[in-house]
């Protein structure tokens, strides 16, 4: 049976600031992110299986990504917890804002690495994460490929 790639797209709104950066992105700002998640596997060939012919049910993939990424990052402001931004994060959190502290600079590049690890942990053993594409603006995105990260 052939390996087939399955892709599902997601979108979420997230704010962030890049501590120490020498441009505008040092300021708190937000993006309308788009995330393409591609997995690879063989379609189920058991004719008695309720998901016969599927690599993975799109709704199962959606559940994983929603729980691990979208519900966590949507309408949150992300800061690196190892920088003075932690003080701003505490103030915002005390005022009822959704703040997320991570142990990396919250660039698209680092976020896509984080997302890959979170998604890989939740996939069934017969399904592999093939790639992620995290689009920050209409013309800017970061990509992660399993083949380049083994």
Q: What is the pLDDT of residues 104-120, one digit of tens each?
A: 999 999 999 999 999 99
Opening angle at CA 139, ends 133 and 140, nearest 5: 50
Domains defined along the chain, listed by start: 4-148 (3.30.479.10)
Residue 150 has pLDDT above 90, yes or no: no
Give the pLDDT confidence of 73-91 residue by residue, as tens digits: 999 999 999 999 999 999 9
Quote the CA–CA distance of 59 and 61 in Å, as a whole number.
5
Looking at the DSSP bridge assignments, the partners of residue 15 are 30, 77
Which has the closest alpha carbon to 18: 93, 88, 114, 105? 105
Give the pLDDT confidence of 4-13 residue by residue, as tens digits: 999 999 999 9
pLDDT band at 95 (very low <50, low <70, confident <90, very high): very high
Predicted TM-score (pTM) of this structure: 0.95
Give phi and psi for 139, each to the nearest 5: -120, 5
| pLDDT for the residue 1 | 76
Examine the residue annotation and report whether 130 is marked as an active-site residue of this protein.
no
Residue 134: how many other CB atoms lie within 10 Å: 25
Examine the residue annotation and report whether 117 is marked as an active-site residue of this protein.
no
Catalytic residue among 49, 67, 71, 75: 75
Mean pLDDT of the region 7-35: 97
Looking at the DSSP bridge assignments, the partners of residue 40 are 5, 128
Examine the residue annotation and report whether 68 is marked as an active-site residue of this protein.
no
How much of the chain exceeds pLDDT 70, in percent? 100
Residue 135: how many other CB atoms lie within 10 Å: 19
């Amino acid at each position: 049976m052939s390996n087939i790639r399955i892709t599902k797209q997601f979108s979420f709104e997230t704010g962030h600031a890049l501590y120490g950066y020498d441009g505008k992105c040092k300021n708190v700002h937000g993006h309308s992110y788009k995330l393409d998640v591609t997995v690879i596997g063989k379609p189920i060939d058991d004719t008695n299986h309720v998901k016969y012919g599927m690599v993975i049910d799109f709704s199962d993939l959606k559940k994983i990504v929603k729980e691990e990424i979208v519900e966590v990052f949507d309408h949150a402001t992300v800061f690196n917890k190892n920088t003075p931004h932690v003080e701003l994060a505490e103030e915002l959190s005390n005022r009822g804002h959704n703040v997320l502290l991570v142990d990396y600079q919250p660039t698209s590049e680092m976020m896509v690495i984080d997302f890959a690890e979170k998604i890989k942990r939740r996939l069934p053993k017969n399904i592999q994460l093939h790639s992620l594409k995290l689009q920050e603006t209409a013309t800017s995105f970061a990509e992660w490929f399993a083949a380049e990260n083994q």
